[in-house]
Structure formats: C-alpha cells, structure tokens
Amino acid sequence: MRVSRILGVVLLVIASQASSGDRHMNGKLLCVGVFDEEYLKGASEGPWRALCPATDGFALRPTTVRMTAAPPLAGDNGPRPRRDVEALECPNALVLIRLGSLTDGHVSTAFSGSFQLRPTAETVLEVGSSSYRVAARETHPHTLELVLRFHEIEQRISVVEGCCNDAYPTLLWAGDLDRDGKIDLLLDVTMHYALSKYTLFLSSQADDGNLVTEVAHFTSGSC
C-alpha cells in the first residue's frame, strides 16, 4: 500500500472525527515512536502524563515529550518528513495523555495487552467489585459495533466501518484511570493493518445512562 493512499485514508478519518462535534473530546493522546508529521498536528513537546508500566501494574506519571527529526519516508510525491516522539521519563509509555482531570500515581488495572475484538469476541473485566464485558458484533458486512456491558446497561462505544483488512479493533488497557471506581478503556479502534487509532474512554465524563465516553484519540498510519 502506498504511503499517499494510506495517508489519505487517515486524514479522511481525522476529518470525519473533527466534524462530529463531540463535546467530550477535550483531551489529547500521543504515542511514543516515529510518525509522519501529518499525524502530529496539534501535538507538542513539553509536559504530558504517561501511562507507564510499573512493578505493580501501571502508574500515571508526569513526563516531558521531545520531538526530533527522523529520517524521511519515501512517498509518491517525494520524501515525507517524520518526527521521533520520546517520553523522557517513561520511554516505554503505553500512551501519553493531556487531560486536566487526571491525577498522577498508581492506577488500578484490570487488563493490559492485546485482545482483538473480532465478531462474537467478548472479554470480562473486573474493576473493583464490578464486572464489565467488552464485546464486538457484526451488524452489517464489514461493519463492527464495539459494545460495553454492565448488568442491564449496554452501550455501543464505537462503530468501525470498512472493517477489517488484516486488523481488528483491539483492547489495549482497561482499569480505573480517573479514580472514580468505574471502568475506563484504551482501545486501538483500527480497521486496517496500516492504520491505528488509539482511543481513550473515561467513565467520569459519561452522560447519564452511559458507561463511558470517548475523550481523546491519536490516529496514525504507515505504508
């Protein structure tokens, strides 16, 4: 797959997200690694919070993000500039977060790893004394709904269209990031092997009747 074609798909996804007007999208996400500069628009160096692996699970820690020039990637219209994103105090951060409502320290974790949400897939997550279920179901050909369940409450948290080209939405982390005793989720809501959309869902910002809401995402791609 050519770089320009992948970039065009990613930018279309970003544009559709920007037009959604979701009032809860008040945070920013970023990942450690080398990315095309197009994907880093709106991101900046300086202070962030890192979701860092720790001896007892995960912790939110302050970190300084540094971005330096990386070797360009060949594209159809010439070299594409890239930048290397580093978290100086947490080089192996799972994700970088800018959201004022979060506080530093140990974070209760129910799951970390990579659980693909294929059609009919389901996993049970324990947060405190509560059990949640995250599942995927195919509603139309090439369309997946991602669902979160808690007792009688069922919430559709994302719809993935054009799914799936050698990749499926993936649960990366679950726990209590905002310390309200309820579940929070980090997913890669991807539908293509060359695309990634890290997405953070928090319970503390959910509307009445919902379990979580999307507060931030970071979209990137490769060739």
Residue 13 phi, psi dihedral angles, 5° rounding = -60, -45
- Single-letter residue type at 38: E
Alpha-carbon span 82 to 40, nearest angstrom = 9
- Reported as a single tens digit per residue, the pLDDT across 40-51 is 998 999 999 999
Residue 116: beta bridge partners? 170
- The pLDDT-based confidence of 89 (bands split at 50, 70, 90) is very high
Q: Does the structure show a pLDDT above 80 at 185?
A: yes
Alpha-carbon span 143 to 74, nearest angstrom = 32
What's the whole-number mean pLDDT along residues 46-66? 97
Q: What is the largest CA-CA distance in the chain?
A: 55
Query: Mapping DSSP to helix (H, G, I), strand (E, B) and coil, where does residue 37 land?
Result: helix
Can you give the residue ranges of every domain in the chain?
A: 3-221
C-beta separation of 186 from 172 below 8 A: yes
Alpha-carbon span 56 to 117, nearest angstrom = 26
Alpha-carbon span 174 to 94, nearest angstrom = 12
- Reported as a single tens digit per residue, the pLDDT across 208-223 is 899 999 999 999 986 4
pLDDT number for residue 76: 76
Note the pTM of the prediction, 2 decimals. Answer: 0.88
Q: Can you point out the beta strands (E) in the chain?
A: 28-30, 33-36, 46-54, 57-73, 80-87, 95-98, 105-116, 122-127, 130-140, 143-150, 153-161, 170-176, 184-188, 195-202, 213-221
- Reported as a single tens digit per residue, the pLDDT across 17-45 is 333 345 567 899 999 999 999 999 989 99
